[in-house]
């Protein structure tokens, strides 16, 4: 059984015991396709991987799966995956069962009783200081890779959004900066602004033959960079200055935090990050250094001379 080139089941379907309702292989396939409808390409790939893993473990049809089967799978996840990965996989499967139950493909929702585990908020561990970011950027020997890193930092784009960028997605503004149009998670379009300095440097890479539909950055095969290639560039840039595990999403976290530190309003960051609500963006406020709040304390402590000593 295949969707988007992914085989989602390796095992034969178990014999039927009872049918409430009867879920044929074709109906199961249709169910998963309906569940995935409208999701981004990246989300589809991730969900398909997780569902394939789950079905391969259970070796049952969806309407024969019980809570105990999901719990057994969850136990196996704790032995193989990090907590965040376990949480993501469980959330995907719970979402599929909820969708199936709500749309009357299943009589019951076996995932309802299983709570999604809470995980440590590790954003603070994935943010570089301004000094660390400057060192990383300056240590990069490739000018093109420098521009890629800085565009990731200023745009705060997700890596998939970054890889889709074309020249037509950048428009110069009257002040010399540029407006970048990003299309990504949740099929949302949003606009962010990059500095005049970066925009000027990017324009210098254009040639007479550059067209609007051309990718901003081309690899050695004269093709757009893949997400894997960008990950490798970022990872290597971090290792070059002794910072290990750096990813494009680290740069997104870092760019947000630095802009907040420098006075950017949080509601503006919410819009430019593509967050659905302020609660997600507010996570960054809890990890900012203590001096951030002090910038907004206007009333000062009276001098010692003004205090009545009696």
User: Residue 298: inside a domain, yes or no?
Assistant: no
One domain for residues 127 and 55 = no
Domain of 255, CATH number, reads 1.10.443.10
Q: Report the pLDDT value the prediction gives residue 280, as an integer from 0 to 100.
A: 59
Per mean pLDDT, which of 165-174, 188-197, 284-293 is the most reliable?
Answer: 165-174
One domain for residues 20 and 143 = no
Longest distance between any two alpha carbons in the chain, whole Å: 91
Task: Give yes or no for a contact between 32 and 4, defined as CB atoms under 8 angstroms apart.
Answer: no
Please write the tens of the pLDDT for every residue from 33-65.
999 988 877 788 889 999 999 999 999 889 899
Lowest mean pLDDT segment, chosen from 70-84, 164-178, 242-256, 262-276: 262-276
User: Residue 270: inside a domain, yes or no?
Assistant: yes
The share of the chain scoring above pLDDT 90, in percent, equals 46
For residues 254 and 238, give the distance between their C-alpha atoms in angstroms, rounded to a whole number. Answer: 13
Taking residues 232-254, report their average pLDDT: 93
User: Residue 111: inside a domain, yes or no?
Assistant: no
Number of independent structural domains in the chain: 2
- Band (223; pLDDT cuts 50, 70, 90): very high
Phi, psi of 209 (to 5 degrees): -90, 0
For residues 258 and 242, give the distance between their C-alpha atoms in angstroms, rounded to a whole number. Answer: 21
The share of the chain scoring above pLDDT 70, in percent, equals 77
Say what angle helices 25-36 and 83-102 make with each other, to 10 degrees. Answer: 110
What are the residues whose beta carbons fall under 8 Å from the beta carbon of 34, sequence distance 6 or more?
Answer: 99, 103
One domain for residues 88 and 226 = no
Lowest mean pLDDT segment, chosen from 90-94, 190-194, 276-280: 276-280
User: Residue 310: inside a domain, yes or no?
Assistant: no
Its pTM stands at 0.64
Give the domain range for residue 195. 123-293
HSE on the CB side for 189, CA within 13 Å? 5
Cα angle 172, 141, 237; round to 5: 90
Q: How many other β-carbons are positioned within 10 Å of the β-carbon of residue 35? A: 21
* Strands in 121-203 per DSSP E: 170-172, 178-184, 188-194
- Band (216; pLDDT cuts 50, 70, 90): very high
Phi, psi of 218 (to 5 degrees): -120, 140
Lowest mean pLDDT segment, chosen from 4-8, 47-51, 85-89, 302-306: 302-306
Lowest mean pLDDT segment, chosen from 130-139, 182-191, 214-223, 268-277: 268-277
User: Residue 250: inside a domain, yes or no?
Assistant: yes
């Amino acid at each position: 059984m295949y969707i988007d080139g992914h085989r989602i089941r390796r095992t034969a379907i178990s014999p039927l015991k009872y049918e409430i309702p009867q879920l044929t292989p074709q109906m199961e396939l249709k169910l998963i396709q309906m569940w995935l409808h409208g999701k981004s390409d990246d989300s589809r790939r991730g969900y398909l991987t997780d569902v394939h893993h789950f079905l391969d473990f259970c070796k049952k049809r969806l309407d024969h799966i019980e809570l105990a089967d999901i719990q057994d799978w969850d136990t196996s996840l704790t032995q193989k995956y990090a907590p965040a990965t376990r949480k993501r996989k469980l959330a995907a499967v719970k979402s599929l069962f909820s969708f199936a139950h709500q749309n009357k493909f299943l009589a019951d929702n076996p995932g309802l009783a299983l709570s999604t585990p809470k995980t440590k908020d590790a954003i603070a561990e994935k943010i570089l200081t301004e000094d660390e970011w400057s060192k990383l950027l300056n240590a990069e020997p490739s000018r093109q890779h420098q521009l890629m890193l800085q565009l990731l930092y200023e745009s705060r784009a997700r890596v998939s959004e970054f890889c889709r960028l074309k020249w037509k997605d950048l428009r110069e503004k009257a002040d010399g900066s540029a407006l970048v149009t990003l299309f990504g998670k949740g099929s949302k379009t949003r606009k962010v602004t990059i500095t005049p300095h970066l925009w000027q440097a990017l324009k210098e890479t254009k040639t007479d033959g550059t067209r609007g539909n051309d990718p901003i950055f081309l690899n050695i095969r004269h093709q757009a960079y893949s997400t894997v290639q960008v990950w490798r560039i970022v990872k290597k840039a971090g290792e070059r200055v002794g910072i290990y595990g750096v990813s494009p999403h680290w740069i997104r976290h870092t760019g947000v935090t630095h802009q907040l530190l420098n006075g950017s309003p949080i509601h503006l960051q919410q819009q430019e990050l593509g967050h659905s609500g302020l609660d997600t963006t507010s996570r960054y406020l809890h990890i900012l250094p203590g001096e951030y709040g002090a910038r907004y304390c206007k009333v000062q402590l009276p001098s010692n001379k003004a205090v009545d000593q009696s």
